[in-house]
Every structure is written in C-alpha cells, then in structure tokens.
A and B are shown apart, each in its own frame.
Chain A
C-alpha cells in the first residue's frame, strides 16, 4: 500500500514521524515526506496510527 502526505495541509507537527519513523520524515521546510514507496505490511498499523493522530489530517492511503 502507498501512503501520501498532502503538502498543502501539513504543518510539520511531526506526529507522523513519531508514530512511524520508518515511513515519515519532516524536512527542513516543515513538511513531512514519505520515505518509502510501498508500506511494508508490518508497518501498516503504525501508519494507521499516524493517519489518526495527524492534527491536520494530512495523511491518507493513496487510492490505486
């Protein structure tokens, strides 16, 4: 599965990085970037948590 961050919404709160450091990294411009192309199955739960916790609700699964 692919996950995406809406850069218009993201404001660098870094909750995503805390929840799933393997998948998200907040860059110098205070916008989170997705580090992986595909989210490994064992990380799905962590990503779900990031999606839930993001204050701006900027993270979503990419529709295929």
Chain B
C-alpha cells in the first residue's frame, strides 16, 4: 500500500486517523530515508514537535533522561501555551504535566520511586506468577470453548492483562470491567467509540477527547482513593497499593498524589499495551499462515515469535520527551523546550538495524527491538507482558489451533496506542 505521491511537506504524524487506517509505516519509511529528524509543524492547538525515526537516535534520546525529560509530557505533541489558556486548566492530563507517576518523572527522583515496586516485576517475580497466568488464561479460554465466532479483543486479549494487573493491585473481580472501561476512556479518549458520555453530535472532536480523558482520570482517581483508604485500614500481604502505602523515599511516606498516580499508571500501562500485543500478534500470525504453521509445528519457537510480534506490532507508537538544552541530532538543531517524539514502529523497521525489516519472521535473531523503550524508563512490566503473550499463545494454539480471522479488525484512532478495538475471529474447533 505504498503511496507514490507522499511528500515530506504533507507529513503530519499528529493525525490519529493516519494510524487508524495503518498509513503510518509509509510515512515513517519516508522520514527515515529523507528526514530522519523531522520537524512536524503544530496546529492551532497542538505544539510542533521533532519526529525521531531512526533506531540509534531513539536509543540516544532514551539514554539521556536529563537532556530529554519526561515530566513535561510523555504522549503527543502537547498543547501550545497560548491555546492552553483558553482550555480548562489541565484539560489534557498527559500534556499538562499532571502527576502520572514514574513514567512522567525525571532523575534523580524517578529511580527512587521506581525502586519501591520494581522487585515485584523482576524475572523471578514473573516466573513465580507464571502458573497463575496460565490458570487465568485457561479460565478465559474455557469461556469461549464451544463458540464459533467472537470478538477476540473483548473476550480474550483484553481479559488476561486486566486480570494480571488487577490481581497484583488486589482489586475485586467485580471492578475489573470498570478498569477496562476507564483505561479505554483515558488512553483511547480520541476515539469516538469511547466518548460515551459526550453527546453524539460532538463525538470525534478534540473537546470530546479531552472531556473523555478527564472523566476517565477523575473516576479512576476517585476509585483509587477508596482503595488506598481501605488498605490503610486493612493492609494486605503483598498487593501493590499496600506496598506503596508502606514505602518511604528519603525517610518520607509518599503523598496521596504520588500514591494515586502510581496506582493509576500501573492500571493504564499494564492493560492496553499488552492487550494490543496479544490481538496484534494473533492478527499478524493469521495473516502469515506459513509463520503460524511453523510455530504450531514447533512451539519452542514461542519466545522468539513473541519478540517478533512485539517488533512487528510495536504496541506503543511513540513516547514523548522535552529537550532541556540545545542539542544537535543528525544535523538538526533541537532547541531547549522543544518536544521530541520517538516513533517506536519506525525504530523497529529500521533498515540499518533489521535485515528485511518488512518480513515477519518468527525466528528472527538478533531482534533487539525497542517496543519497550530502553534505559531509565524501560518498561517496568516488560517481563510480565512477554510472559502473558507467551502463555496466551501457547494455550490458545494448543486448544484452538485452527483459529482464523473472521472479518476486518477495527482499529483505534490514536497516534499513541497501536490499538485494535475489535478483532472478529472464528475458532474452527471442528464441531
């Protein structure tokens, strides 16, 4: 689907519809070739920003967390200062520097905060949790057993990450659906499907997106205020809210704001990305029947298949940074204060790093993709995400080896999350 008429001057990566219709790879390929560090002009509301599209440059930005900070926003270009004044203050949580915990924190505080919980995410912790991940997976698959067609996202892909992170947070099962809904509202705020509280004729506007995100954030905060209140009175053995409540940094307990933000981040980060890794993974395997057959024949390829899925799908399209000093990358002058967006799908198709980057190959080695970022903010949940994908595909293909796509995937309108909202599949269990 290459567009021969694509010109640099037409490029706008702040267009969520470009990602919804899967046109971004053509744009990113052009940028890598002709303008690997590219100034994307802003709009009436949005800031202009630098697009970083080369693997090595994304590593460079990620590895310099003091030069490229996260605390001024981690998603999207941010709102122009002039425009911000006319919006309700702090209208866009991820832009306005709202407290979004470690993912929006800089050195030196960042690592201190991260270390409060990171022991719960090490390879050891993941191994210990694997039997539970497998049990949950089979519980999910039991529910679809005997069915013919279904929405793989709603009934399968979303359910595992939701159960895992809600379990770690000690949330009651009756609340998991609410967490699913709120995650969609916050991270999918720009998609009309999730703008359910906005009058129908206003859906699809940027005001509707802001209102939806605000509502999601507000409800989530309220919810976790109650969770924290409960854990203060009834501490639990090892759930994350209790651990956070008992933690100290430099001799001080965390503030209510820090506690809430941490809970909020864990729910958001643990949910949607992994969901899209699972649904995107099933899709790409079904679209490459030779690769799926190869995997089914030799399930020991699963770990490398998962890495290739992560490279191919890149569940997060980008993370943002803000420069703190004037810097040059590939001859371009980045000024202090400029916003920089690192495009992971582009790094993961970089011709200078990956051989035949547009070939989906479940045996690819080496495969040092950047789907989880690198360095200071390297995904805290990477071990869990990898294991969830692995166990899910092991169990899914063991039980439903003939599963196939049964319709067009419906994609999320977002340039941040590489999301699939609905994926119709047929199980073909031979009944």
Q: Write the residues of chain A forming the contact surface with B, with a CB cutoff of 8 angstroms.
A: 8-9, 11-14, 30, 52-53, 55-57
Interface of A, helix, strand, loop or mixed by DSSP:
loop
Q: A53-B368, A55-B382, A57-B63 are in contact. Are A12 and B374 (CB under 8 A)?
A: no
Chain B residues with Cβ under 8 A from A52's Cβ?
368
Verify A30–B119 contact, CB threshold 8 A.
yes
Chain A residues with Cβ under 8 A from B374's Cβ?
55, 57
Q: Select A8's contact among B111, B119, B124, B382, beta carbons within 8 Å.
A: B111
Verify A13–B123 contact, CB threshold 8 A.
yes
Verify B368–A11 contact, CB threshold 8 A.
no
We find that the number of chain B residues with CB closer than 8 angstroms to chain A is 17
Shortest CB-to-CB span from B335 to chain A, Å, is: 25
Chain B residues with Cβ under 8 A from A55's Cβ?
372, 374-375, 378, 382
- A13's closest neighbor in chain B, by CB? B123
A28 to B119, CA, bound (A): 12
Chain B residues with Cβ under 8 A from A11's Cβ?
118, 121-122
Interface of B, helix, strand, loop or mixed by DSSP:
helix
Verify B124–A30 contact, CB threshold 8 A.
yes
Verify B111–A12 contact, CB threshold 8 A.
no
Q: Within B110-162, which residues are at the interface with A (CB < 8 Å)?
A: 111, 115, 118-119, 121-124
Verify A56–B375 contact, CB threshold 8 A.
yes
A12 to B375, CA, bound (A): 13
Chain B residues with Cβ under 8 A from A57's Cβ?
63, 374-376, 378
Shortest CB-to-CB span from B392 to chain A, Å, is: 21
Verify A12–B122 contact, CB threshold 8 A.
yes
Top 10 closest pairs, chain A to chain B, by CB = A30-B122, A57-B375, A12-B122, A55-B378, A8-B111, A57-B63, A56-B378, A11-B118, A12-B123, A11-B122
What are 24 contact pairs spanning A and B, CB under 8 A? Answer: A8-B115, A9-B111, A9-B376, A11-B118, A11-B122, A12-B122, A12-B123, A12-B124, A14-B123, A30-B119, A30-B122, A52-B368, A53-B368, A55-B372, A55-B374, A55-B375, A55-B378, A55-B382, A56-B375, A56-B376, A57-B63, A57-B374, A57-B375, A57-B376
